[in-house]
Amino acid sequence: MKRVVILGGGTGGTLCANRLRRLHPADQVQITVVDQDDVHVYQPGLLFVPFGLASVDEITRPRHRQLHGGIAFLRVAVDRVDVERRRVHLADATTLDYDVLVVATGAVLAPEETEGLTGPGWRERVHTFYTPEGAAALSTALRWFDHGRIVVNVVDLPIKCPVAPLEFCFLADWYFTEQGVRDQIELVYVTPLDGAFTKPVAARALAGLLDEKHIELVTEFNTGSVDGAGGRLVSYDDRVELFDLAVVVPLHSGASYVGRSPGLGDDLGFVAVDEHTLQSTVDEHVFAIGDAAGVPTSKAGSVTHFEGEVLVENVRRFLAGGPLDASYDGHANCFIETGFHKALLIDFNYDTEPLPGHFPAPAGLPLLRESRLNHLGKLMFQWVYWHSLLPGRDIPGVTSAMPERGKHKVTVP
Amino acid sequence: MPSATYAGTTVAVDDEGFFEDPNAWTEAMAPEIARQAGIEELTEQHWRVIKFMRTEYAEKGTGPTVRVLGKTSGVSVKELYQLFPKGPAKTAALIAGIPKPRGCI
């Protein structure tokens, strides 16, 4: 009997467990999923909560209910992993030995790492929508907000879903227009990057949209401290952005037990893996998926989904003693809500930046261009997530490898 | 391909001035690169960061980000910005003769 231990019952852990269970008979491979709680949040839904478009209840389900029969679920925190002995130490002082360990515990927020962020004004005029509680508190704050300056700030990368703060800006523009107070409100997007996005073609398109919607773009701003009482964001080089309401995406780290597990993670607690096989660069028995993995692509659900196919195949090959399949290409595919019932779609990988064109699926969704169809795609995706992605079914027309077809090769001059 | 001459030696650099080959770098070149980047004199603390950048690059194949520098170099992020006001990770990589840190996506 081989033992596969999966740490984390979120997107990556759940879809891997379900795919592995289907692939391996229960009398040959034992699968155990460990998570500290039983609350599975559909994280893309958090964006909609501040605007009253979704409630936290609607985007939350029990973790154990998403796991197929024959998968053990342990509700307990992880204390540390002993990589050398291939043993997981749990917070209740019990241990789990493994032949394969899959680290799928995602990223955690570290607001306390930014001076003043959780100080006076936190959850009053300084908010985040990256947690269910934060998104709900922000929803209340926005309902009463009818004039002033809103600053949306990313402290530093990596963050989950790097387009989400931009989507927040676009939806805020729509929301306040609907409320009839848009002309009383200044919207400002403050980023540490030198543009609206990391990649040039998409950065140009997104900066154009910000401009069209009269959202100010402030670049290369490295937030050093947040003064909630004074309504000031101060950068390390002493620039100041004033706000009446701040929406901040805090720093992200890997799960805290990674730092307590010698050899498992990097300086930020993410697990260093080969970017094509997803196997740890330190120990061959360890794999990582999703936000927990230190690979140079976005931390996003689509990435986790595409990684899952490769990872499950590689766990099978590893258990069989064969060579791994180095086929994960960094594929990411993200809808970007732009307000007024429209959205963009971007599709990219390690080598190809997001480009305009069409996604070559039956519906032929336009890339890097606003459309109602993309908005419907985004809304429909929650159903696909619970009923197709988590159970580990393939989504028709959407493959792990990025499609080259349909993309227009353009560059920024 | 662009090139630059430091301490009497011509080296290949990219469009932003980052070294194409970190092995072409010598300590004698650092003060000149620093002056071009607006840093008149390299103090002991500057050198501590520059050497740390090179060690990290040799081990990991990419220079660290500001946040990782602050956590691991023994120099706080605040002080890093005082030493390299135009952005510690980028400027220190430039002076240390390693490629531009990949950062994140």
Enumerate the β-bridge partners of residue A185: A148
The C-alpha angle with vertex A10 and arms to A323 and A298, in degrees rounded to 5, equals: 70
**What percentage of chain A has pLDDT greater than the value 70?**
99
Smallest CA-to-CA distance from A82 within A241, A264, A256, A212 is with A264
Domain boundaries, chain A: 2-44+59-109+253-319, 111-251
Structure tokens at A278: 């997803």
How far out from the chain centre does Cα A315 lie?
23
Check pLDDT > 80 for residue B103.
Answer: no
Check pLDDT > 80 for residue B104.
Answer: no
The C-alpha angle with vertex A117 and arms to A116 and A122, in degrees rounded to 5, equals: 110
**Of the given ranges (A146-150, A189-193, B60-64), which has the lowest mean pLDDT?**
B60-64
Decide if B77 and A236 are in contact by the 8 Å CB cutoff: yes
Domain architecture of chain B: domains with CATH: 3-96 (1.10.10.370)
Closest CB to B104 among A158, A222, A236 = A158
Instruction: Quote the CA–CA distance of A273 and A278 in Å, as a whole number.
Output: 5
Task: Say which residue the tokens 């985004």 belong to.
Answer: A378
Global pTM?
0.94
Residue A410 binned pLDDT confidence (cut-offs 50, 70, 90) = confident
The size of the A-B interface in CB pairs under 8 A is 40
pLDDT digit string (tens) for A45-97? 999 999 999 999 999 999 999 999 999 999 999 999 999 999 999 999 999 99
Residue-averaged pLDDT of chain A: 96
The DSSP code for B101 is: P
Q: How many CB atoms lie within 10 A of CB B94?
A: 27
Nearest CA distance, A94 vs chain B (angstrom): 32
Nearest CA distance, A334 vs chain B (angstrom): 13
Decide if A199 and B72 are in contact by the 8 Å CB cutoff: no
* DSSP calls for A44-90: GGGGGGGGTSS-TGGGEEESGGGSPTTEEEEE--EEEEETTTTEEEE
Separation in Å, CA A410 to CA A330, A344, A347, A407: 20, 17, 14, 9
Residue B21 known to be catalytic: no
Check pLDDT > 80 for residue A145.
Answer: yes
Of 3.40.50.300, 3.10.25.10, 3.50.50.60, 3.40.50.720, which CATH number belongs to A2-44+59-109+253-319?
3.50.50.60
The DSSP code for A127 is: E
Decide if B104 and A268 are in contact by the 8 Å CB cutoff: no
- Does any CB of chain A come closer than 8 Å to the CB of residue B43? no
How far out from the chain centre does Cα B64 lie?
10
pLDDT at res. A398: 87
pLDDT at res. B100: 87
Class of the CATH-defined domain A111-251: alpha beta
Residue-averaged pLDDT of chain B: 92
Instruction: Quote the CA–CA distance of A256 and A262 in Å, as a whole number.
Output: 12
pLDDT digit string (tens) for A8-49? 999 999 999 999 999 999 999 999 999 999 999 999 999 999
Smallest CA-to-CA distance from A299 within A6, A12, A5 is with A12
- Does any CB of chain A come closer than 8 Å to the CB of residue B38? no
**What percentage of chain B has pLDDT greater than the value 90?**
76
Give the chain A residue nearest B72 (alpha carbons): A267
Decide if A157 and B66 are in contact by the 8 Å CB cutoff: no
Catalytic residue of the set B15, B40, B44, B104: B104
Instruction: Quote the CA–CA distance of A228 and A346 in Å, as a whole number.
Output: 35
Give the chain B residue nearest A220 (alpha carbons): B87
* DSSP calls for A151-162: EEEE-SS--BST
pLDDT at res. A311: 98
pLDDT at res. A370: 94
pLDDT digit string (tens) for A222-232? 999 999 999 99
Sequence-ordered strand ranges (E) for chain B: 3-6, 9-12
Which residues of A sit within 8 Å Cβ distance of B? 156-158, 162, 198-199, 220, 222, 224, 236-237, 251, 267-268, 296-298
Nearest CA distance, B71 vs chain A (angstrom): 8
Residue A344's H or E segment, with its range, is strand A342-348
pLDDT at res. B105: 46
Decide if A251 and B65 are in contact by the 8 Å CB cutoff: no
Chain A CB contacts of B103 under 8 Å are: 157, 198
Whether ipTM > 0.85 holds is no
What phi and psi values does residue A307 have, to the nearest 5 degrees? -65, -35
Chain B CB contacts of A297 under 8 Å are: 105
pLDDT digit string (tens) for B43-89? 999 999 999 999 999 988 888 888 999 999 999 999 999 999 888 99
Top residue of A163, A239, A266, A267 to mutate, by most chain B CBs within 10 Å, is: A267
Same fold, A2-44+59-109+253-319 and A111-251: yes
Give the chain B residue nearest A295 (alpha carbons): B104
